[in-house]
Amino acid sequence: MPYQELTFAQAAPVLTWANHDLGYAETAMAKNVASLPFVYKHVALMPDVHLGKGALVGSVIATQDAIIPAAVGVDIGCGMGAMQLPFKADRLEGKLKKIRQDIEAAIPVGFNQNKDVAKEVYNWQGWQDFKALHPGVQHLDTKAMAQLGSLGGGNHFIEVCLDTENNVWLMLHSGSRNIGNMLAQNHIKTARHLSKLAEIKLPDPDLAHFVAHTPEFDRYWHDLQWAQDYARMNREVMMGRFKAIVEQHLGGGKVTKPLLSVNCHHNYAEQETHYGESVYVTRKGAVRAQTNDYGIIPGSMGAKSYIVKGKGNAASYCSCSHGAGRAMSRTKAKKAFSLDDLIAQTEGVECRKDWGVLDEIPGAYKSIETVMANQADLVEVVATLKQVVCVKG
């Protein structure tokens, strides 16, 4: 679907791939961001767009000489990892429950962390730079090390999937855990304080920002890059453990070479070149989709997911959606659905089917098929996956 252009007085245009599916609150939030004087050319909204804090989840914001920490969000570097292994579906028969149990035993979920620090975690080069991070997180060094290689909660997950050719895939979704959250909160607080001191009038306090070439900007940018690296490493550590578990069950423990591996952020910011100019690109719930970039677009638990390759669409700042996108809040989902609904909607998936994950029921999300149809000009589908095991945070 081609995008729709929304125009506002005294604001940059907003290009949306959401198939006209924007309510009053979403439109107002998009206008607030687009009205900032440092926004470059336009704001791009992906087809899974929904309400966030300050900026819409599913938005791509290019800026010149400024960055908005709340637009990046508190789970800095949150993203996806996926890996195709050289196994077929028949190897999984009768093993799904034990695989799930082994995953849950090896990878901490929710607020849990690793009891012992693995060698690969201890040797991560990022620790060399920890003392240079914001003073407000210096007491979290031990916790950050223990949480590297843990899933977290909310909509984070680990899945064994099958594609349409019955190939086995591993997929997971996680971010920068508590350390990323606390770094973000400290910098957001600073940005708000600076805005008040300078008496800057903002349409939303969560759009407080840092100006390039200032000490506050430089400190945030440094910590942002560190947290993004931490999040990527977090996924690598978990994927290594995950891969070893599946190899044990399907191949007797023999180490295999992945046929394809993808590790991509969808809550982050980078400096990129667009329309011939260097800009800061914030993807809040969006994946980079430059020409031939591999990306991962998951559906909800019980729905399809997609491995994609970018088409380099300039209007989207070479981006695509990061998932199906919520259709209702967690609170509303728990009121609208029952455990019987959850059991029915996750039929055929080895996963938890209890009150604790009811807010993640597929019915609380938009149709992933519709989302994919709306971004055919942004990505091409490489593989279509369906989970058979799902471990939730």
Residue 282 has pLDDT above 80, yes or no: yes
* pLDDT value, residue 325: 83
Q: How many angstroms separate the CA atoms of 276 and 292, rounded? A: 20
Share of the chain above pLDDT 70, in %: 99
Q: Where are the domains of the chain?
A: 79-262+288-327+365-392
Q: Is the per-residue pLDDT at 1 higher than 70?
A: no
DSSP letter string, 18-76? STT---HHHHHHHHHHHTSTTEEEEEEEEEEEE--SSS-EEEEEEESSEE-HHHH-SST
Tell me the two tokens of residue 33. Answer: 């961001």
Buried b (16+ CB within 10 A) or exposed e, 234-249: bbbbbbebbbebbbeb
- The percentage of residues in the chain with a pLDDT greater than 90, rounded to a whole number, is 95
Binding positions: 75, 155-159, 173, 266-267, 298-301, 305, 322-325, 392
Q: How confident is the model at residue 2 (pLDDT cuts 50, 70, 90)?
A: confident
> What pLDDT is recorded for position 214?
98
Binding positions for GMP are 155-159, 266-267, 298-301, 305, 322-325, 392
| Average pLDDT estimate for 351-375 | 93
Q: Compute the average pLDDT of residues 46-62.
A: 96
Q: State the catalytic residues.
A: 322
Fold (CATH) for 79-262+288-327+365-392:
tRNA-splicing ligase RtcB (3.90.1860)
pTM reported for the whole predicted model: 0.96
| CB atoms near residue 278 (< 10 Å) | 9
Confidence check: pLDDT of 221 > 60: yes
Burial class (CB in 10 A: 0-12, 13-18, 19+), 96: middle
Structure-block tokens of residue 341: 């609904």
Burial class of 290 by CB neighbour count within 10 A (0 to 12, 13 to 18, 19+)? middle
Examine the pLDDT at 273 and tell me if it is beyond 70: yes
Structure tokens at 191: 């940005």
Q: Where is 189: in which H helix or E strand?
A: helix 177-197
* Mean pLDDT of the residues in the chain: 96
Using 50, 70 and 90 to split pLDDT, how confident is the model at 302? confident
Per-residue model confidence (pLDDT) at position 327:
86
Strands ordered across the beta sheet of 267-274: 4-6, 14-16, 39-50, 57-63, 277-284, 267-274
